[in-house]
Amino acid sequence: MSVFYIRDVEQNEEQIAKLTMAELFEINIHKMRKSFFKYFPNTTKRINKVTRNFSLEALENNTVFLSAPSSFDDPYDCNLFIDANEFALQRIRYYAELCGVDVKPEWSYEEVSMRLAEKIYTHGMSGKPLDEFYKHRQDCEMIRLHHEAFFLRLQLELSSPETNGESYSVAFNKAIKEEYDEIQHTANRFRVACFAETPYSMLMWSHYANYHQGFCVEYETPDYSSDNAEIYHNLFPVIYTDNRTDLTSLSLNWRSNGNLSNEELWNFYKYGLLSKSLDWKYQQEWRLISCDNLITDDTYNCQFFKIKKVYLGNRMSAKDRKKIIKICKRKGIPYVGVIISPNKFEMKDCSILCENCLRIKQCNKRKRSNK
């Protein structure tokens, strides 16, 4: 495999989308970025009658918070694209064949549903339990649970006093919808921390650092080792694309076989958690993804790479600036103010020490009050 730096050229976006899990791991190890940046709002929240500033806690503890994808601002973000109608048709066909129905390729969902209902009704009239359809099969634990859940739903619906000819269809629909919803919710089993490639993005300062009143932390990427392998193997660049990938066949394979190969699981991972609309490309985002493997407690925080530098927002108050400078000095972390360029639409480091700026502001404030 020819190794390339993921963000070197725009054409590589298409290449990234075609990468296998092993290839991307290899790239991450050999061509990982030297630094990652995370923007913090530096705001407080009232939790259980206690006021907390999670941004300062992250700075103090060198941790990052892993969020649930459902909390993201983009409704498409981490939302798996699965064709609901096709999923329902293939699942009802699967259960019909499981029960011994000779399903024809041209049959519609309604036709298969009717034939399955007839089969189950005849089976029930003979006094046989529903689990006879699947208990003899040598399926994995997950598939066995799928079967039990499906037929339990049937029993619940069909035991109702209002049971009629439509009850089978209602039961099938509910059981299959539950399966569909379960897969859609799979992404929320994962937690995600987001990073940027630069501390000078005006939009990132506005959107994620409380309109320039927050701060940005630079994390220094260490050389790959066994100590940081878990981070390396779960830190990926976001793939920006116009198209959503159809994961219907992959999800059906998962439900039918009970497991996915590493590459199939990677496709769920890649297209479910790492793909975003081109509208967000300005973020040049990277994501640290965890499914409990990086989280050590119930706060959803995890240790990340060592903090290299802190960038203070252009509109940060003097009070907050002093507080963060104090933390940085105590922990030996370099810091710098970020200002607006006088002649370009861009952000840059301030050439004046933050303490000197604070002294000047305090001096000017005293002068105004003495007038």
Query: Is 44 within a domain?
Result: yes
| Predicted local distance difference test score (pLDDT) of residue 48 | 86
267-301 in b/e form (b: 16+ CB < 10 A) is bbbbbbbbbbeeeeeebbbbbbbbeeebeeeeebb
State whether 180 and 301 are in the same domain: no
Same domain membership, residue 157 and residue 101: yes
Both 111 and 204 in a single domain?
Answer: no
**Residue 371 placed within a domain:** no
pLDDT band at 121 (very low <50, low <70, confident <90, very high): confident
Tell me, what's the pLDDT at 258? 59
Report the pLDDT value the prediction gives residue 203, as an integer from 0 to 100.
Answer: 94
Same domain, 297 and 319: yes
**Residues 338 and 350: beta-carbon distance below 8 Å:** yes
Whether 185 and 231 share a structural domain:
no
Classify residue 11: in a domain, yes or no: no
The verdict on 97 and 162 lying in the same domain is: yes
What pLDDT shows up at residue 234?
86
State which residues form the domain around 325.
32-75+192-238+281-355
Whether the per-residue pLDDT at 317 is higher than 90: the answer is: yes
Q: Has residue 361 been placed in a domain?
A: no
Q: Is the pLDDT of residue 19 over 70?
A: no
Asked if residue 98 lies in contact with residue 147, where contact means CB atoms within 8 angstroms, the answer is yes
d(CA 228, CA 82): 35
With a cut of 90, say whether residue 307 has pLDDT above it.
Answer: yes
Pairwise CA distance, residues 345 & 297, whole Å: 42
Q: How confident is the model at residue 320 (pLDDT cuts 50, 70, 90)?
A: very high
Residue given tokens 């509109």 in the structure block: 315
Q: Of 65, 338, 14, nearest to 192 (Cα)?
A: 65
371 or 152, greater pLDDT: 152
Question: 1 pLDDT band (50/70/90 cuts)?
Answer: very low
Do both 300 and 221 map to the same domain?
yes
pLDDT (tens digit per residue) in 68-113? 877 887 777 777 788 899 999 999 999 899 888 999 999 999 999 9
- Into how many domains does the chain fold? 2
d(CA 311, CA 102): 67
- Check residue 367 and give its pLDDT: 46
Mean pLDDT for the stretch of residues 149-178:
76
User: In this structure, is residue 213 part of a structural domain?
Assistant: yes
Per-residue pLDDT, averaged over 134-139, amounts to: 70
Same domain, 90 and 233: no
Looking at the structure, tell me whether residues 218 and 319 fall in a common domain: yes
Mean pLDDT check: name the lowest of 11-15, 17-21, 103-107, 331-335.
Answer: 11-15
Is the distance from CB of 69 to CB of 190 less than 8 angstroms?
Answer: yes
CB atoms within 10 A of CB 308: 16
Residue 324 pLDDT more than 60? yes
Examine residue 362 and state whether it is found in any structural domain, yes or no.
no
Q: Is residue 226 assigned to a domain?
A: yes
d(CA 24, CA 286): 13
Residues 147 and 57 in one domain: no
83 and 140 share one domain: yes
Does 186 have pLDDT greater than 90?
Answer: no
pLDDT, residue 348, reads: 93
Whether residues 329 and 307 fall in one domain: yes
Among the listed residues 61, 2, 76, 12, the one whose alpha carbon sits nearest the alpha carbon of residue 284: 12
Is 118 inside a domain boundary?
A: yes
